[in-house]
Homo-oligomer: A and B are copies of this chain.
Amino acid sequence: MSEIEPARLPEPPYYAVIFTSVRTNGDNGYAQRAEEMLRLAAKQPGFPGGYGGGQPPCREGGVDSTRGAEGLGITVSYWRDEESIKAWRAQADHTRARAAGRAHWYASYELHVARVERSYGFTR
């Protein structure tokens, strides 16, 4: 499975938004909207690496995202700075998608905004 490539990231410090969630039952329009949000996020200033256009789960550009069979999803998006995160939070389509998330898609979620102070990687 080593064809999955890691997110391409700048040198620290940068920011990570950790979003952990449990879905409601059924799709309810989630999959299409999730892909739209990734495409839109990749157009925002301060979102490193772009986005290749795959469906989540994915691991590319400025996002690592996966969901296990038990139902827990973790998406980590990476941003250049806090201002970039705030601008994405204010983006109108994203604001509507978050409202739909609370109304339809998520049983629960938590979001952590964090400043990455160091990072390293390993590739076989």
Contact = CB atoms under 8 A, between A and B. Distances in A.
A74 B71 contact: no
Interface residues of A, number: 48
Q: Copy number in this complex?
A: 2
B64 A20 contact: yes
A40 interface: no
Chain A contact surface mostly = strand
Contact of A110 (B6, B22, B113): B6
29 contacts: A1-B70, A1-B71, A2-B107, A2-B108, A6-B20, A6-B108, A15-B114, A16-B18, A16-B114, A18-B18, A20-B64, A20-B76, A24-B124, A59-B72, A65-B72, A65-B74, A66-B67, A66-B68, A66-B70, A67-B68, A76-B76, A102-B122, A106-B122, A110-B122, A111-B120, A111-B121, A112-B118, A113-B116, A114-B116
